[in-house]
Amino acid sequence: VCDPCDLRPGDRVRGVVDRERRLALMRNHTATHIILAAARRVLGKHVWQAGAQKGVERSRLDITHYKRITREELDEIERLANMVILENRPVRARFMRRNDAERAYGFTLYQGGVVPGPEIRVVEIEGWDAEACGGLHVATTGEVGFIKIVRNERIQDGVERLEFSVGEAALEYVKGLERTLASVCAALGADPETVRDKVKRLVEENRELRERAERLLELKERAEAELLLRDSIRVGEVLLAAGLLDEGDLESLMRLGIRVVKERPDAVAALVSRSERALAILVGKAALGSGVDARELGNALLAQLGGKGGGRSHMFNGVVDRVPERDELVAVLQRALKG
């Protein structure tokens, strides 16, 4: 009883079963038995039920298996399950003495767990599966209608989960896939028969464009590094390469700075992005050996420009409140380097 009421022990009540929900659960329960037997035929007799949950829209079956189930194996499990549905095999439930049931069907009866007592209820799908089970089932496999495996995942070592829908829920899932396919076809100007090739071409074109963009970025950064080194100034034993970039996030500043100090280990690269107000300072190995500390340079800039940041001796990054002109940037760094 979900809501408060005046029921007392001994009162007579009238219960009503939600017929559609009950039928959906019966279809899903029978489908669980069908899929389990199909999985044993496809994957091997080592497969054992590790758990199950029956729902109205979607159910799940957990099975033991030593590796991931392939797409081809999933397709075959689904094909066999639907073949059994098409064959409209009888589904019978009967009580049997435990010893007689075990002699007739073996210990695979206990896929859902061992049932206590000298007598057990056996649910048999003719010529396909037999399990000790106390649940409700449809009378024939044809009443299940249709099985669609919608998801597979490995939930723990040695256990694979199969999520599936049956009947109208399975049909609605397939309709959803068709609607998605139709929208993809419309976006690509293709039809269902050609959309796969169209997507493959787009993926290949996208890969080529990414590679081209990476090559262009490489050339751009190389040119920027050469320009920074060309305009660098000598401060004692250190080469100061300071610059402002119109565009660029912290990651791009770091890449450029690393390129500079790899080219010239005696260099300090100090870069600020106008668009992002990002700050990056990189110190080459030789400059580190000369006693340069990126944190001291970074803190000197933040004291002048405002902002926040942090780092280590060879690297400092942050965000400035005010973007300086290059002359101011160089002047602050020169003072910090001269100490």
Interval 143-152: pLDDT, tens:
999 999 999 9
Helix axes 19-43, 71-86, angle to 10 degrees: 130
Structure confidence at residue 4 (pLDDT): 81
Higher pLDDT, 1 or 213: 213
- Residue 166, pLDDT above cutoff 80: yes
Q: What pTM was computed for the model?
A: 0.71
CA-CA distance, 337 to 290, in Å (whole number)?
10
Judge whether 241 and 267 are in contact, CB under 8 Å. Answer: yes
> Could you tell me the domains of the chain?
19-177 (3.30.980.10), 225-338 (3.10.310.40)
CA-CA distance, 54 to 292, in Å (whole number)?
67
CA-CA distance, 46 to 312, in Å (whole number)?
56
How many CA within 13 A on the CB side of residue 174?
Answer: 11
Alpha-helical segments (H) within the chain: 19-43, 71-86, 98-105, 167-188, 195-230, 250-263, 285-289, 294-305, 326-338
- Residue 172, pLDDT above cutoff 90: yes
Structure confidence at residue 132 (pLDDT): 95
CA-CA distance, 174 to 147, in Å (whole number)?
11
- Residue 71, pLDDT above cutoff 90: yes
Q: How far is CA 91 from the centre of its chain?
A: 39
Structure confidence at residue 35 (pLDDT): 98
Higher pLDDT, 2 or 115: 115
Q: What is the mean pLDDT of the chain?
A: 94
Residue labelled with tokens 């009580």: 95
CA-CA distance, 299 to 295, in Å (whole number)?
6
- Residue 6, pLDDT above cutoff 90: no
CA-CA distance, 160 to 47, in Å (whole number)?
10
Among residues 312, 278, 296, the alpha carbon closest in space to that of 238 is found at 296
Q: State the DSSP string of 204-251.
A: HHHHHHHHHHHHHHHHHHHHHHHHHHHT-EEETTEEEEEEEESS--HH
With pLDDT > 70 as the criterion, what percentage of the chain qualifies? 99
The arithmetic mean of pLDDT across residues 129-152, rounded, is 96
CA-CA distance, 80 to 47, in Å (whole number)?
16
Structure confidence at residue 7 (pLDDT): 85
Interval 288-326: pLDDT, tens:
999 999 999 999 999 999 999 999 999 999 999 999 999
Interval 212-222: pLDDT, tens:
999 999 999 99
Structure confidence at residue 47 (pLDDT): 96
Residue 49, φ and ψ in degrees, nearest 5: -70, 125
Interval 258-269: pLDDT, tens:
999 999 999 999
The arithmetic mean of pLDDT across residues 231-256, rounded, is 93
Contacts for 5 with CB less than 8 Å, ≥ 6 apart: none
Residue 9, φ and ψ in degrees, nearest 5: -55, 135
Is residue 68 packed enough to be buried (19+ CB in 10 Å), middle (13-18) or exposed (0-12)?
exposed
Structure confidence at residue 1 (pLDDT): 57
Among residues 40, 30, 23, 133, the alpha carbon closest in space to that of 91 is found at 30
CA-CA distance, 79 to 72, in Å (whole number)?
10
Structure tokens, 221:
């950064």
- Residue 15, pLDDT above cutoff 90: no
Return left, alpha or beta for 307; rule: phi > 0 is left, psi -120 to 50 is alpha, else beta: left
The arithmetic mean of pLDDT across residues 181-210, rounded, is 94
